[in-house]
């Protein structure tokens, strides 16, 4: 059976809201593109991508809207991402881990979307591409959406005013003067082999600023919910890092929760116990590296690692840099 590219209806809502604001015949435009006219009610469902692109192009052309993709991207928020993706990002200890989660789960946002991270000297690129769409018209609309979400993710760590050093498009695209004015000091590139944003590699080790952008959803299971379990584990585990009792079976017994229940609740939000433990170890180690003069070997032991070399490898997976580099960057910052 041939593949049918799908996208989540959430990503069309900003275009629809702009059309509604200017009094455009939104429902008629949707129907002509063979899309549901009651899109708001079906925003969490998946829609065929090609009619969605035709709808946006037709709306821009007939309504005379300049840089429609950019305007829609301005109305997209972190909350438009899937709940589970937001949960993973909200509980990621560093930006690098959050971006890896986003890359892994990208195909749940658009079924043919792939995301990856590339190193480019002292910068990294967060890249995205829609499979089998090479040469397709009107991709610039989708690529604004593809680029805006990594920007929102970085802002969870770097602050709401952060801007990338460059924004690139696979399609031929020239931003309007108004668009450029909203992104001062950002280079715009077109005709690239993928859409991407660029950021300094030193940002990858940034800790999570808060989880306020993510509102937990309580399921029908017995409380505490999966999200409560994550937070409770993160509060409880630091006391046991130096005790050698952080194995899943030990912590389940101490907490009075069966191992199976704990694993099931964490799986509900796409997390494993080992990921939570790694996060707690990282948060402890990064605090000591940043705020104290403890020797790195002592930081490793205090964070629950018996082998300093294992600690260094695990820390680098989280941040993209060694513990010593992290300490030096933190003090420079």
Q: Give the model confidence (pLDDT) of 318-329 as tens digits.
A: 999 999 999 998
What are the backbone dihedrals phi and psi of residue 244, each rounded to the nearest 5 degrees, phi first? 75, 20
Task: Quote the percentage of the chain above a pLDDT of 70.
Answer: 91
The residue that leads in pLDDT, 24 or 172, is: 24
Phi, psi angles (nearest 5°) of residue 329: -65, -40
Q: Cα–Cα distance between 250 and 307 in angstroms, integer?
A: 21
> Range with the lowest mean pLDDT among 2-11, 64-73, 91-100, 246-255?
2-11
DSSP 272-283: -HHHHHHHHHHH
Q: How confident is the model at residue 41 (pLDDT cuts 50, 70, 90)?
A: confident
How many separate helices (H) and strands (E) can be counted in the chain? 15, 7
By mean pLDDT, which of 155-169, 202-216, 257-271 is the weakest?
Answer: 202-216
> Using 50, 70 and 90 to split pLDDT, how confident is the model at 211?
very low
Q: Which two tokens mark 272?
A: 């494993």
Q: Which of 76, 96, 230, 227 is nearest to 157 (CA)?
A: 96
Residue 111: pLDDT band with limits 50, 70, 90: confident
Residue 139 has pLDDT above 80, yes or no: no
The confidence score (pLDDT) of residue 218 equals 43
- What is the mean pLDDT of the segment spanning 269-280? 89
* β-bridge partners, 330: none
Residue 226 pLDDT grade (very low, low, confident, very high; cuts 50, 70, 90): low
Please compute the mean of the pLDDT values over residues 168-189 and round it to a whole number. Answer: 92
**CB contact set of 95 (below 8 Å; sequence gap of 6+):** 153, 154, 156, 157, 158, 203, 204, 205, 206
Mean pLDDT rounded to a whole number for the chain: 86
Per-residue b or e along 241-264, where b marks 16 or more CB atoms closer than 10 Å to that residue's CB: beeeebebeebbeeeebeeeebbe
pLDDT-derived band at 217, boundaries 50, 70, 90? very low
Asked which of 190-194, 206-210, 294-298 is least confident by mean pLDDT, the reply is 206-210
pLDDT at 2 over 90: no
Average pLDDT over residues 112-126: 93
Burial of 218 (0-12, 13-18, 19+ CB in 10 A): exposed
Give the per-residue pLDDT at 214: 43
Measured distance CA(176)–CA(178) in Å, rounded = 5
């Amino acid at each position: 059976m041939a593949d049918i590219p799908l996208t989540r209806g959430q990503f069309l809502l900003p275009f629809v809201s702009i059309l509604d604001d200017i009094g455009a015949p939104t429902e008629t435009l949707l129907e002509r593109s063979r899309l549901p006219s009651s899109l708001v009610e079906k925003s969490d469902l998946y829609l065929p991508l090609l009619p969605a692109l035709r709808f946006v192009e037709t709306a821009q052309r007939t309504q005379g809207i300049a840089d429609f993709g950019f305007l829609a991207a301005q109305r997209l928020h972190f909350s438009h991402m899937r709940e589970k993706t937001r949960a993973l990002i909200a509980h990621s200890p560093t930006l690098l881990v959050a971006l890896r989660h986003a890359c892994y789960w990208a195909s749940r946002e658009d079924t043919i979307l792939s995301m990856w991270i590339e190193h480019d000297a002292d910068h990294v690129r967060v890249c995205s591409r829609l499979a089998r769409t090479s040469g397709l018209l009107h991709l610039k609309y989708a690529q604004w959406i593809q680029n805006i979400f990594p920007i929102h993710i970085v802002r969870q760590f770097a602050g709401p005013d952060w801007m990338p050093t460059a924004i690139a498009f696979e399609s031929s695209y020239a931003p309007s003067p108004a668009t450029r004015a909203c992104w001062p000091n950002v280079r715009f590139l077109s005709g690239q082999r993928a859409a991407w944003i660029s950021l300094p590699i030193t940002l990858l080790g940034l800790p999570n600023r808060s989880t306020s952008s993510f509102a937990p959803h309580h399921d029908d299971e017995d409380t505490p919910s999966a999200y409560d379990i994550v937070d409770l584990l993160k509060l409880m585990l630091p006391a046991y890092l130096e005790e050698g009792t952080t194995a899943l079976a030990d912590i389940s017994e101490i907490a009075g929760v069966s191992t199976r229940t704990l694993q099931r609740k964490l799986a509900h939000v796409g997390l494993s116990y080992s990921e939570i433990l790694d996060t707690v170890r990282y948060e402890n180690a990064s605090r000591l590296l940043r705020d104290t003069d403890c020797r790195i070997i002592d930081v490793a032991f205090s964070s629950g690692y018996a082998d300093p070399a294992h600690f260094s490898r695990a820390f680098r997976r989280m941040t993209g840099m060694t513990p010593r580099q992290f300490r030096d960057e933190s003090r420079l910052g």
